[in-house]
Amino acid sequence: MANITVLGAGAWGTAVAISLAARHQVLLWGRDAQAMAEMAAARENRSYLPGCPLPPALQVTGDFEAALAHLQGDATPLLIAACPVAGLRPLLTQLAGRPIPNVVWLCKGFEYGSGLLPHQVVAQVLGDRVPGAALSGPSFAQEVAKGLPCALTAASASSELRQRVVALVHGGTMRVYSCDDLVGVEVGGAVKNVLAIATGVADGLGLGLNARAALITRGLAEITRLGLALGGQAGTFMGLTGMGDLILTCTGDLSRNRRVGLELARGKKLEQVVAELGHVAEGVPCARAVRELASKMGVDMPITHAVAGVLFDGDDPSAMVAKLLARDPRGEL
């Protein structure tokens, strides 16, 4: 049993805290003190994870100092950052200079503006003094919170931290594998959200299961091309954080990014879709960041460019599909 602090009380942070509280001393922190007080009283995160009661052992707080103090006095504590990519740098800035043992992030995406992956943001803010790891894979918060089976990957340059994350998180209905390919794991987790928007558009337009399979398969090729260009390992994209996460996000009805595509295909404006979601759909900001990065690096990513065109350039979803179908034939691999 270990002391674990989860910083970020959105759907995924809450779900991970619920899962880990069955085996560890877990404290969940959120920056809105009033919302955390209401969560503590209701024993439920009604804003982000309704219908999933918090276990009695799970502590919740809006006190940042108390959240960090929870890690003290334990030889193997774990600090989990459960914020969106946009919130990672501000959260890490709060942690900079503090005696934290490690940091494990759950976010998936590229930081817009810098084009950095999460581990690069961590290195910029915290330097080399704090070992870090990504915990990623095909996982819907609602299912994890309900105790349904799930498999994830812990990726880190530190073999010691990889082993610690696996030892503490693996158990019950959650299976955790380890990997040293941080770049590959993070690229897969980021770009699959963009491709889920594309498959949502195709499904919303009624283009059929053949089209969905084609988008997923060619989308995996895009993920792999970008990942290899950034230094990832080819095998990673065939695993949980590549193919696995891509399939789940593109086909699962719980996928927020897929829902964005479905609603765009029905004629709604992006601003309305995002407002109605009430949650962060990471594929939206990620599409812009990936389009810029791919163009800069000369990586061919037509699906990503088409999605970004619909999201930011006013392109019609039907025109997006027509543009992709009109591309010249080429070798598959």
Is the CB of residue 171 less than 8 Å from the CB of residue 20? no
Q: Does residue 106 sit in the same domain as residue 254? A: no
Mean pLDDT of all residues in 216-232: 97
Among 138, 162, 180, give the residue marking a domain's end: 180
Among 138, 157, 180, give the residue marking a domain's end: 180
- 331 pLDDT band (50/70/90 cuts)? confident
DSSP state of 173: T
Q: Show the domain range for 303.
A: 190-325
pLDDT at 326 over 80: no
> Does the residue 106 lie in any domain?
yes
* 212's tokens: 């969905």
> Does the residue 332 lie in any domain?
no
**Catalytic machinery residues:** 192
Token pair 């095998």 is at which residue? 235
Is the CB of residue 277 less than 8 Å from the CB of residue 258? no
Q: Does residue 9 sit in the same domain as residue 145? A: yes
* pTM of the complete model: 0.95
Per-residue confidence (pLDDT) for residue 112, from 0 to 100: 85
Number of domains making up the chain: 2
Return d(Cα 121, Cα 102) in angstroms, integer. 15
pLDDT tens per residue, range 55-84: 999 999 999 999 999 999 888 999 999 999
Q: Does residue 253 sit in the same domain as residue 173? A: no
Per-residue confidence (pLDDT) for residue 73, from 0 to 100: 83
Per-residue confidence (pLDDT) for residue 329, from 0 to 100: 75
Per-residue confidence (pLDDT) for residue 325, from 0 to 100: 79
Instruction: Report how far apart the first and last C-alpha atoms of the chain are (Å, whole number).
Output: 47
Q: Does residue 303 sit in the same domain as residue 214? A: yes
Q: Is 325 left (phi over 0), alpha (psi -120 to 50) or beta?
A: alpha
Mean pLDDT of all residues in 310-320: 91
Token pair 């990889």 is at which residue? 162
Return d(Cα 160, Cα 102) in angstroms, integer. 11
Mean pLDDT of all residues in 95-105: 95
> Does the residue 251 lie in any domain?
yes
Which percentage of the chain shows pLDDT scores above 70? 100
Which percentage of the chain shows pLDDT scores above 90? 90
pLDDT tens per residue, range 2-31: 999 999 999 999 999 999 999 999 999 999
- Burial (CB < 10 A; 0-12, 13-18, 19+), residue 56, is exposed
Mean pLDDT of all residues in 142-147: 97
pLDDT at 333 over 80: no
Return d(Cα 92, Cα 34) in angstroms, integer. 23
> Does the residue 116 lie in any domain?
yes
Rg (CA), the chain: 19
Q: Mean pLDDT over all residues of the chain? A: 95
Q: Does residue 233 sit in the same domain as residue 287? A: yes
Q: Does residue 167 sit in the same domain as residue 230? A: no
pLDDT at 280 over 80: no
